[in-house]
Amino acid sequence: MIMTRRMLVLLVVLCTAAWALAPARLPAGAQAPRTITVGLYADAISLDPEDSNDNLSLGVEREVYDGLLGFDSDMKAIPQLATSWEASPDAKVFTFHLRPNVKFQDGTPLDAEAVKVNFDRARDAAHKLKKYNLYEMIQSIDVVNPTTVRFTLKQPFGAMLFNFAHPSSRVLSPALIKQGEDAIARHPVGSGPFRFVSWAPGQQIVLERNPNFWQSGEPKVDRLVIRFVTEDASRVALLLSGEAQYIYPVPGVQLEAVSRAQGVEVPKRWSIFAGGIAMNTQHAPFNILQVRQALNYAVDKNAMIKAVLAGTARPMEAPMAPGDASYPGPVQKGGWPYDLAKAKALLNEAGFAHGFRTVLWSTNRTESVRMIEFIQQQLAQVGVQVQTTPMEVGTLSALQYKPLKENQLQMILVGWSPSTGDADWALRPNFASESWPPVLFNLAFYKNPQVDALIRAALSTADQRKRTAAYAEADRLIWNDTPWIWAQNTQILSAMRNTVKGMFTLGDGIVDLRNAELIGH
């Protein structure tokens, strides 16, 4: 008797557990909302576009907001809220004609006045917004008529259109702006295809279909759930288990396993990421041109791409990535050649026949660590003994941004992806002498007055032909000065279940889910 009672209790406990653990089922007959779940690598920080510089926040903002201009899947600037525009030849006056009858998600009309309110806020230094530098050159904004708005700049700025296409240059509802910074950061209201529903920090952001979106028939799903999964392997597992239909990024080493899985596609797309190893050109022995060139000859880029990146990259052929707007073409086809004999000869010429010792910094991300380990192995072939020093991101940033006099930097693994997608922001932060730390990212402390002049010249005109010609010459000079070991241009790797389509990650690493669609619905 006692035994049976015990058994009964056990049974009840087990049943309760089974019920609690069983997957939830929808009641029969209910129309399930068309939902797509996406797995990304980090949480958003703020949903204020003009105060965002992380790709994750910008990706969510892309679905909720529109800009005057947007990017297409190849990062070419395309019309969004502006249907057409004109630039004055001196690159000082930019006029936009707006799409008529567009309303924000809260019903406020989107007109020239709303655009002016937005960019007046963005260029006001008092707000201390993160992307202030995109708009600080604006002198005045004029409402010509309800559908026409004119921007006048303080000085010529040839890359200005790219600033308007920048993922931060979104247009917010003026009613939202009135509510203040906290509301803007947490409860975005725009005119884009999806409106904001909820944000559980560290977990997910939920968006739903904007029924009044200006592009008829869009969007094609009711709900977007964006989940944040930091650990690479867990994110891959999220897709393979079917919990998510799209994930980004897929780590290179998992690529083969993921593409073998049933019902999974692995779309690849070239990034605008330029990768290399910056050498401190103001620090011996990297102040000697032959040494820098020798190190470039000593690294087999193709072997590196195969061993470290699972073949998902190509050697750099110019100081910027081919996907950048105004890219003038390769300086050296196939990349800087791998030639150990030449490397040794050059080192000998420079007086380092037996090599030297140096230190190579990087972040402690596993891929970076594997990369610098590979560089270490390669440079050992010519007698250069590298001490690899991976560091936590915050520590590294504190060390790398020190001014030249205090900076210990010798070699550092670098990567750069211009947020405007344009050649100016690909070259200027990395190679202009005005960008030496602590100002910007010129970690090689590279200085060539000719290059500086060319970068300035390209900015003073809106004529794309002239700009491209200037960048071609700058590229050639920088390439031959070799402030970097020219390494790789990577692919953007995402993975998608074959039940969905229309989602992709752009060359700058920001997702675009605006055209997400469930196949068969």
Partner 1 sequence: MLRFIGQRLWQMIPILFGVSLGTFVFNQALPGDPARLLAGPDATLEDVQAMRARLGLDQPWPVRYVIFVRGALAGDFGRSYRTREPVGPIISHYVQPTLVLSLASTVLAVVLGMGVGVLQAVRRNSLGDYVSTVGSVLGVSTPSFFLGLLLIYLFAVDLHWFPTGGTTAGLRSLVLPSVTLGVGAAAAIARFTRSSLLEVLGEDFVRTARAKGVREPWVLARHSLRNALIPVLTLVGLQFGFVLSGAIIVETVFTYPGLGWLLIQSISFRDYPVLTAEILLFALEFLLINLVVDLLYAALDPRVSYA
Partner 2 sequence: MRRRTAVAGGVITAVFLLAMLGGSWISPYSPAAVDYNHTLTPPSPTHPFGTDDFGRDILSRLIAATRYSLGMGLVATCLGALLGSAWGIAAAFYGRQFDNISMRVVDIILAFPGFLLAIAIAAALGPGLWNVILAVGLYSIPTFARLVRGPALSAMAQEFVMAARALGARSSRIMARHLFPVALPSMLVLASLRIGTAILIASSLSFLGLGVQPPTPEWGAMLATARDFLGVAPQLVLAPGLTISVAVLGFNLLGDGIRDALDPRLRD
Residues forming the site for partner 2 (CB under 8 A):
232-233, 236, 251, 253-254, 256-257, 303, 306-308, 364-366, 369-370, 372-374, 376-377, 388-392, 395
* DSSP-derived pairing of the beta strands 313-315 and 35-40: unpaired
Per residue, the 3-state secondary structure of 100-145, as one string, reads CCCECCCCCECCHHHHHHHHHHHCCHHHCCCCHHHCCCEEEEEEEE
Q: Is 233 among the residues that bind partner 1 (CB under 8 A)?
A: yes
Q: Is 43 among the residues that bind partner 1 (CB under 8 A)?
A: yes
Q: Is 86 among the residues that bind partner 1 (CB under 8 A)?
A: no
Considering only residues 202, 211, 449, 520, which one is a binding residue for partner 1 as defined by CB under 8 A? Answer: 202
Of 215 and 389, nearer to partner 2 (C-beta) is 389
Residue 364 binds which of partner 1, partner 2, none (CB < 5-8 A, kind-dependent): partner 2
Give 29-43 as a DSSP string. T-----EEEEEESS-
Q: Is 130 among the residues that bind partner 1 (CB under 8 A)?
A: yes
CB of 141 to partner 1, least distance (A): 21
Q: Quick one: which of 84, 88, 144, 134 has its CA closest to 111?
A: 144
Q: How far is CA 212 from CA 110, 193, 433, in A?
A: 13, 8, 49
Considering only residues 71, 85, 164, 228, which one is a binding residue for partner 1 as defined by CB under 8 A? Answer: 228
Of 54 and 339, nearer to partner 1 (C-beta) is 54
CB of 405 to partner 2, least distance (A): 21
Q: Is 438 among the residues that bind partner 1 (CB under 8 A)?
A: yes
CB of 321 to partner 2, least distance (A): 24
Q: Which stretch binds partner 1 (CB under 8 A): 66-74, 180-188, 352-360, 495-503?
A: 180-188
CB of 365 to partner 2, least distance (A): 8
CB of 53 to partner 1, least distance (A): 4
Residue 201 binds which of partner 1, partner 2, none (CB < 5-8 A, kind-dependent): partner 1
Q: Which stretch binds partner 1 (CB under 8 A): 5-13, 19-27, 353-361, 405-413?
A: 19-27
Q: How far is CA 4 from CA 11, 13, 16, in A?
A: 10, 14, 18
Considering only residues 108, 132, 383, 452, which one is a binding residue for partner 1 as defined by CB under 8 A? Answer: 132
What span, in angstroms and rounded, lies between the C-alpha atoms of 374 and 391? 17
Under rule CB under 8 A, how many of the chain's residues touch partner 1? 51
What span, in angstroms and rounded, lies between the C-alpha atoms of 260 and 262? 6
Amino acid at the residue 140: S
Contact track, partner 1, 50-79, x by CB under 8 A: ---xx-------------------------
CA 381 from centroid of its chain's CA atoms: 34
Computed from CA positions of residues 107, 112, 114, 115, in that sequence, does the dihedral angle turn out positive or negative? positive
Strands (E), 183-236: 194-200, 204-209, 223-228
Q: Contact at 8 Å (CB) between 70 and 121? A: no
* DSSP-derived pairing of the beta strands 411-416 and 357-363: parallel
**Alpha carbons within 13 A on the beta-carbon side of 32:** 9
CB of 445 to partner 1, least distance (A): 15
Subset of 346-405 contacting partner 1 (CB under 8 A): 392-395, 397-399, 401
Can you read off the two tokens belonging to residue 170?
């979104």
Q: Quick one: which of 412, 430, 416, 382 has its CA closest to 490?
A: 416
**Alpha carbons within 13 A on the beta-carbon side of 396:** 19
What span, in angstroms and rounded, lies between the C-alpha atoms of 254 and 270? 18
CB of 238 to partner 1, least distance (A): 5
CB of 280 to partner 2, least distance (A): 19
Considering only residues 80, 118, 191, 204, which one is a binding residue for partner 1 as defined by CB under 8 A? Answer: 204
Considering only residues 441, 448, 452, 517, which one is a binding residue for partner 1 as defined by CB under 8 A? Answer: 441
Q: Contact at 8 Å (CB) between 180 and 170? A: no
Of 110 and 396, nearer to partner 2 (C-beta) is 396
Considering only residues 201, 263, 329, 334, which one is a binding residue for partner 1 as defined by CB under 8 A? Answer: 201
What span, in angstroms and rounded, lies between the C-alpha atoms of 354 and 346? 12
Considering only residues 5, 241, 449, 520, which one is a binding residue for partner 1 as defined by CB under 8 A? Answer: 241
Helix, strand, or coil (residue 194): strand
Give the CA dihedral 300, 305, 309, 311, nearest 10 degrees. -150
Q: Is 243 among the residues that bind partner 1 (CB under 8 A)?
A: yes
Q: Contact at 8 Å (CB) between 316 and 486? A: yes
Of 233 and 380, nearer to partner 1 (C-beta) is 233
Can you read off the two tokens belonging to residue 259?
């593409």
Of 36 and 98, nearer to partner 1 (C-beta) is 36
Residue 256 binds which of partner 1, partner 2, none (CB < 5-8 A, kind-dependent): partner 2
Burial 18-49 (b: 16+ CB within 10 A, else e): eeeeeeeeeeeeeeeeeebbbbbbebbebbbb
Of 159 and 250, nearer to partner 2 (C-beta) is 250
Q: Is 440 among the residues that bind partner 1 (CB under 8 A)?
A: yes
Q: Is 238 among the residues that bind partner 1 (CB under 8 A)?
A: yes
Judged by the rule CB under 8 A, the positions of this chain that interact with partner 1 are: 20-21, 23, 43, 45-46, 53-54, 125, 128, 130, 132-133, 181-182, 185-186, 200-204, 227-231, 233-234, 237-238, 240-243, 392-395, 397-399, 401, 416, 419, 425, 429, 438-441
